[in-house]
Chains A and B, each alone.
Chain A
Amino acid sequence: MDMNDHQVHIDEHRDDEGAKTGMWIFIFTELLLFGGLFIAYSVYRYLNPLAFHLAAEELDTTLGTINTVILLVSSMTIAMSISAMQYKNKKLTLIFMTITLLLALAFMVNKYFEWSGKISHGIYPGSMTLQEASRGELLFFGLYYAMTGLHALHIVIGMAFIGYVMHLVIKNEVQHDNFAILENSGLYWHLVDLIWIFLFPLFYLIT
């Protein structure tokens, strides 16, 4: 969402409230995008309760918990960067944004080890192991890769967004009286966090 749309020919038009409204609606569309996958998950879990139970035990709850903590803390740090901006502390803003990015990176590293662990055990879509597995297990792992994969993609997009806003902060284009885009990047990051809050129990905890 570009909040500072001004062009060569049109008077500068700035509407922070409008920019945030746009972001909220966009977040809603993201929830619906995942909603389709959540529907598929509920339907198939309802049809294959036992297989989903068995398959979920394959997942590493510890890694999942660590990643949950990482994301929750990163949500806090991005919120703190906004507060720091309101207190006109540019340096602190940038520090908190950097911490957020590092935490996001840690999440991705964790995810990498988790996925490669699964793949080395022969659990991935189209693998020989899964072709012999039951219908429900097949669906569970299909959904697992699709949903956590789509979520990971959102992490990457969120990192790019926060990185871009950091660039604007460094150039002083985002300041204490003009930080709607920073708030929007924070909103987006909370969304990414929120989706994980639902993915984590659905795949790791409910066994």
Chain B
Amino acid sequence: MSETVNQHTEVSYLEYKGRFKGLFAWIFSTDHKRIGLLYLYSMLVLFSVAALLGLAMKIELIAPGKTIMDAQTYNSFFTLHGITMIFLIVVPGLPAVFGNFFLPIMIGAKDVAFPKLNLLSWWIYIIGAFIALSAQFLGDGAPDTGWTFYAPYSFRTGTNMLPAVTGAFVLGFSSIATGINFIVTVHRMRAPGMTWMKMPLFPWALYGTSWIQVLATPIVGVTLLMIVLERTMQIGFFDPALGGDPILYQHLFWIYSHPAVYIMILPAMGVISEIIPTFARKTIFGYKAIVVSTLAIAFVGYFVWGHHMFTSGMSGTALYTFSILTFFVAIPSAIKIFNWVATLHKASIDIQTPFLWALCFLFVFMVGGLSGMVLGALSTNVHLHDTAFVVAHFHFIVFGGTGYAFFGAIHYWYPKMFGKMYDKSWANIGLAIFFTGFNTLYLPMFYLGMTGMPRRYYDYVDEFHGPNIVSSLGALLMISGLIIIITNLVRSAKYGAPAEADPWQGKTLEWTVASPPSLENFEKIPTVTKHPYGYE
């Protein structure tokens, strides 16, 4: 297994001395691995803030009436929680951190196609983050529209919308730049012998994701720009008083934002497709089916945006079409689930932390996916629209899907990224607490939604009290789990035992280089002859 491992003949990317020193050696580095870590650290900070906002909302909901904050504060909390989590963490998350770090290594390249553009993407990301977050502190109060910026409220509200919308607009450029970079990297820089059908599944997922980023982000860009023009220059795109149509805003917004859901989930599926064969010690079942379903999701995902608007007013034909297409898009996701489960069949499984994350992913992703079908059906949607059910579904898919895959990925690739191994038992304890808390938090919200509790209110009637207490306690449990997980990871970067080049006996190219990799990843570009998951 280790005949190709090259052991520490070169200095690692973490110790390399370049033109700059200290912090500048990071924020001006064009090394894809350092840029990946820059994103990781930025997101860790933002995620902690947004998660605490979420916790504060759950504490507010522990009892009816005002508990710790008033209605306006609650409104701005869920807005900021949404903007930060969606635009700053979940959408860029996996591609920016693990895509940057591992895409070049997994396809046998020394860097991405445009390293300077890559660094520029991070800078745009940081600038966009500052602009978006400045909305909280400048002007007339924090935005209170929710992350969707629905018209006409988004230009009627007196709160400080402009920076929030502009920030999201700027972040779009970062996303597009990363997408272009990855597409060109995959097309031009695969190692000799790595044909398309010999490419590992995480790069495949990133490739599909990049196309969605490139093709969908400009639409939301121009839509947010229209909101900006509407607020600053009274051009009435969406305001009925100025001649516009608010429903058009919803269409334009979801033409991007539904494909964006697949920007979030495709790389997550890619991560799971890497973890499962490694710990099953088995070739992935149905490699081609996974590739094709990745592309199918990327494609069909464009034509389902209308299912966010079943109650907004559309023709019957449009309603049926969007509903049936929504059911179609579930098929490729289900194909992947079957492939992963079939890979585990009769495998000699090595149960390690990343594998446990992947298993938990399968569970929460199925709950999230099936509840999505409930929302995609027209009749049930009318009943459940804008209830806590939607929030539960959304968090099962986005936090449960992308979030679990993110933590799975960091536990999988941590030894490669930092050259250290984390404490496995603490990692497992953290996961157990987190998983219990997660389900205690979100499962009651399905019930609450079905019994009629609307979302985005800081108050509710007494009938909803019981499940809300359970849900809020779940939030506390989940946050404690998160604290254990993150503390363990941060601590292990310093005190962890040195990691081997291939601690999990993985077969893809990143396990053939040293942990942590050298600056140029490969002393000599490898020639690929075998299938990526060549277990016998």
Question: What is the interface of chain A, defined by CB distance below 8 A to chain B?
Answer: 1-2, 5, 7-11, 13, 15, 17-19, 21-22, 25-26, 28-30, 32-37, 39-40, 43-44, 47-48, 125-126, 135-136, 138-139, 142-143, 145-146, 150
Contacts and interface: CB of A to CB of B under 8 A. Distances in A.
A5 B114 contact: yes
5 contacts: A25-B180, A33-B219, A125-B234, A139-B244, A143-B235
A9 B16 contact: yes
B307 interface: no
Contacts of B214: 25, 28-29
Interface string B23-62: 0000000110000000000000000000000000000000
A13 B118 CA distance: 15
Given A1-B117, A5-B114, A9-B520, A25 B252 contact: no
A37 B237 CA distance: 10
Interface residues of B, number: 45
B172 to A, nearest CB: 9
B1 interface: no
A204 B187 CA distance: 42
B222 A9 contact: no
Interface residues of A: mostly helix, strand, loop or mixed? helix
A29 B176 CA distance: 8
B246 interface: no
B183 A10 contact: no
Given A28-B215, A139-B236, A22 B180 contact: yes
Contacts of A29: 176, 180, 214-215, 217-218
A19 B188 CA distance: 10
Given A9-B520, A32-B219, A43 B245 contact: yes
A18 B188 contact: yes
Given A2-B117, A18-B184, A32 B215 contact: yes
A21 B179 CA distance: 12
Given A5-B115, A15-B188, A139-B236, A10 B248 contact: no
Given A2-B114, A142-B242, A22 B233 contact: no
Contacts of B226: 36-37, 40, 146
A7 B235 contact: no
Interface string B135-149: 000000000000000
A26 B237 contact: no
Nearest to B210: A25
